[in-house]
């Protein structure tokens, strides 16, 4: 069983790092690697953006669970706005203040994630988040986040949450 798990992890790592991808091999039409041409920057693919944002979403949500407002503050734009499941609209400072004082979430699971749109400078990412509170209650919300790139790093600019029926 452990060998199957290890094999699965290795296969995932190879996929994520694109090892063994035939697209990495140089075609005969490409110039040799020692030419003085500047490398051409390839635009990120939808899968690249998906992988980056899914990991980022997990880090952001874990920071909320841990009450790590320093991490959150650093990764939110100054004009961040949240529309919560209750319809309440909050700015960055209000959100951070609430996170600092309220720590009721026990665990979360992100599912059904997808990149709705993206460019090199912005992206819209949507997912379902299943949350279990410390008191045992649970719920599910559909979340749509808007991201922008600042100095080459993704930052969350807006989030809209909608409760889902079970």
Q: For position 131, which CATH number holds?
A: 3.10.450.50
Q: Is residue 33 part of a domain?
A: no
Q: Is residue 3 part of a domain?
A: no
pLDDT band at 102 (very low <50, low <70, confident <90, very high): confident
Q: Which long-range contacts (CB under 8 A, 24 or more apart) does 122-129 make?
A: 122/146, 122/147, 122/148, 122/149, 123/49, 123/53, 123/147, 123/154, 125/50, 125/53, 125/54, 125/57, 127/54, 127/57, 128/164, 129/61
Q: Is residue 8 part of a domain?
A: no
Angstrom distance (rounded) from CA 123 to CA 146: 6
Angstrom distance (rounded) from CA 164 to CA 166: 6
At residue 128, does pLDDT exceed 90? yes
Q: Is residue 137 part of a domain?
A: yes
pLDDT of residue 35: 55
For the segment 116-120, the average pLDDT, to the nearest whole number, is 95
pLDDT band at 32 (very low <50, low <70, confident <90, very high): low
Q: Is residue 143 part of a domain?
A: yes
Q: Is residue 135 part of a domain?
A: yes
For the segment 4-20, the average pLDDT, to the nearest whole number, is 35
For 68, the domain range is: 45-163
Q: Is residue 39 part of a domain?
A: no
pLDDT band at 89 (very low <50, low <70, confident <90, very high): very high
Structural domains counted in the chain: 1
- Residues in the chain, total: 166
Q: Is residue 10 part of a domain?
A: no
The pLDDT tens digits of the residues spanning 37-46 come to 667 778 889 9
For the segment 68-86, the average pLDDT, to the nearest whole number, is 96
């Amino acid at each position: 069983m452990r060998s199957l798990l290890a094999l699965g992890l290795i296969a995932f790592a190879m996929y994520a790092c694109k090892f063994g991808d035939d697209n990495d091999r140089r075609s005969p039409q490409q110039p040799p690697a020692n030419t003085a041409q500047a490398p051409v920057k390839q635009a990120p693919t939808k899968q690249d953006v998906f992988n980056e944002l899914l990991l980022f979403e997990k880090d952001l949500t874990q920071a909320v669970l841990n009450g790590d407002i320093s991490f959150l503050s650093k990764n939110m734009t100054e004009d961040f706005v949240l529309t919560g499941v209750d319809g309440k609209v909050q700015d960055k400072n209000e959100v951070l203040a609430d996170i600092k004082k309220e720590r009721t979430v026990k665990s979360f699971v992100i599912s059904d994630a997808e990149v709705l749109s993206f460019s090199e400078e912005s992206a819209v990412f949507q997912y379902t988040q299943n949350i279990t509170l410390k008191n045992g209650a649970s719920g599910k919300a559909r979340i749509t986040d808007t991201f922008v790139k600042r100095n080459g790093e993704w930052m969350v600019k807006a989030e809209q949450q909608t409760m889902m029926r079970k």
